[in-house]
Structure 1
């Protein structure tokens, strides 16, 4: 039996205390996609399960809870996943025509598979409690979106615990399913690297590297209908 030690201060009261509000916003604004700075320090089981319990309490369409979490610590399995990453990294670099852009891309640190003490694959089961799920009949993708909500919960809870998370999306899902023995019908959504880190960067890696910058909020806002600024 897994024992979940949730923070004792959690209250179900409607109002957040000022320090609680600050904690929520601090986790959101200081969360980073971590690819480096991992420490060789194990994540205690009680901390890991607390983070996963937060993920498991994410909202889901029709309360379907369509996620599973594969915890990976084995170095041999990590090495096989790292090989998959390298294959896709090289393939994706061939899509960049501009040589300077390609050189910058190849210089980026985009994963921490071997360095992170724990890897987690988050999967989606589209048939859990199926075939009819409230809310999926018009937009079937809401099941997948639910898994993304669980990933965000995991990410924010990890940040609150001082643990970095990196999402490795440069992978072949078909090959990943073979390595992790994921059955037919189950879809890998995220391959995550978790671990304590030396520090969290103040600016996201890709922004610091000059790859892209964060858009101003007003650039992504419309009012009432598309296009209305």
Structure 2
């Protein structure tokens, strides 16, 4: 069989890809418009094209369909968020923290919890003997691929991390050897922007890449 030649990506595609990266945002404000089932499954199938150590494919997606479970999760995140606000170092910082909207669990039409299987049968252990955490890195790669694929379709994604992983894992009744990596809100954004919300709210601006490059 003649191998398929690799594709050649023109400059116009490269420019569009750069634009896609700049418009990938962590979304917190969602419209309640449902995501079509076909679109959601297409996103997950695209995420599964991500690279993984030893081709282990450790990502596990748990779609939250139960309204009561979603409400419990939102209540848990709100409580953790309150604790995080109380821990801010001064009154001004606490007030600014409380002004931020940090999740869309009650508005987003889809909530997906992403776990990493710490003992997948796929991959046969290749590549992770000395760095078992590469399984989790692989799952993060799948999340990033999902994020970009969602933005291509005009769908926003918000990564919720202010929570207790053990509590969420117990709430969702997943196997003991699955590790929570992320809770994702998916839906159509209310106010799309190429500028991160935390930058627009003057919480944290993007810093020069030159400050993050070290040579030895």
Instruction: Give the TM-score of the pair, scaled to structure 2.
Output: 0.93
Task: For structure 2, list consecutive stretches of 5 or more residues without a partner in the other structure.
Answer: none
Residue pair 1:75, 1:114 contacting (<8 A) in 2 also? no
Query: Are 1:164 and 2:156 matched, yes or no?
Result: yes
Distance 1:122 1:74 in 2: 17
Q: 2:82, 2:92 → 1: CA distance? A: 16
Aligned twin of 1:108: 100
Runs of 4+ in 1 over 4 A off after TM superposition: none
Provide the aligned length of Structure 1 versus Structure 2.
Answer: 213
User: What's 1:76 paired with?
Assistant: 68
Q: Report the counterpart of residue 155 of structure 1 in structure 2.
A: 147
Q: 1:18 aligns with which of 6, 11, 15?
A: 11
Q: 1:15 and 1:93 mapped to 2: Cα distance?
A: 49
What is the rounded CA distance, in whole Å, between the counterparts of 1:213 and 1:12 in structure 2?
Answer: 42
Matches within 5 A, 1:15-54: 15-36=8-29, 38-54=30-46
Aligned 8 A contact 2:26 2:159 in 1: yes
Select the residue among 129, 138, 154 that pairs with 1:146. 138
1:143/1:70 CA distance change after superposition, 3 Å: same
| Alignment TM-score, normalising by the size of structure 1 | 0.88
Determine whether 1:221 maps to 2:213: yes
CA distance in 2, matches of 1:104, 1:216: 24
Q: 2:167 aligns with which of 175, 189, 201?
A: 175
CA distance in 1: counterparts of 2:58 and 2:200, whole angstroms: 35
Contact 2:56 2:123 (8 Å CA) reproduced: no
Residue pairs, 1:45-64, within 5 angstroms = 45-64=37-56
Shift of 1:132: 4.8
> Which residue of 106, 120, 129 corresponds with 1:137?
129
Per-residue deviation, residues 13-52 of structure 1 (Å, max 9, x unmatched): 331133332332222110000001x112111111111111
Alpha-carbon contact 2:150-2:157 (below 8 Å) kept: yes
Output the aligned Cα RMSD: 1.7
Name the SS of the counterpart of 1:57 in structure 2.
coil
Matched with 2:58 is 66
